[in-house]
Amino acid sequence: MGVKLRLTQRQDIPSTIAGQNTYTSFVVDLPTRNKYGQLEFKQAMIQRNKDVHIGYLEYNRQNILDQSFKFLGERYGWGHSFNARDCTGFVGDVYKSFGILMPRNTGQQASSEQGYNIHFNKHTSKLEKLNQLEKLEVGDLIYIPGHVMMFLGLQNGKPYIIHDVSGLSYFKKNGEYYQSKLNGVSVTPLLPLQLNQETKYLDRIYNLKKIK
């Protein structure tokens, strides 16, 4: 997602590529490496029914939802292991499809001047954080140390998020502490999530970022 390929100029498009007519496909100049290790462009076809778009997508809330949910269930891959993404890779690739380039790790993203930032410190109350969470819009970003989440909206007044996450823990209604693995792009409520038995995600939120 967010990868750009140059369209071949119309006058340079052959009638066939590898024995297939080019009329029903996009023809792109694909960067390759020749036998000397040098950059070389070769013409390739992409079917018109594939998930591609000429130019960047329009930046709006519906497109943010559409792009983020295309990853739902994809395996978590720290540092892009398993040919997948981690939390910042997920957020970065979604926003890249709108031409917005995000820094690579959570600390860099949260401290960057991109968008409008709402910073919290150790003296910020939970009530103030909750009040700010209620004002978020679809696609806004929520940061805790080492993790970033994308805001989806409120359900029965409670914030829900989509994020690429490895583990999951929360307290059950009977008070039992539950831990498990998700290792994938998942939709979860925010408020029940625990970093450990003593600390909630909410406790560690230190920045909200609104991309405009």
pLDDT tens digits for 163-181? 999 999 999 999 999 999 9
Spatial separation of the C-alpha atoms in residues 149 and 41, rounded to whole Å: 38
The angle that helices 61-69 and 87-96 make with each other, rounded to 10 degrees, is: 130
Domains and CATH numbers, the chain: 6-47 (no CATH), 61-210 (3.90.1720.10)
Tell me the pTM: 0.90
Cα separation, 133 vs 205, whole angstroms = 10
Instruction: Give the Cα separation of 8 and 15 in Å (integer).
Output: 13
Q: What's the pLDDT tens digit per position in 81-131?
A: 888 899 999 999 999 999 999 999 999 999 999 999 999 999 999 999 999
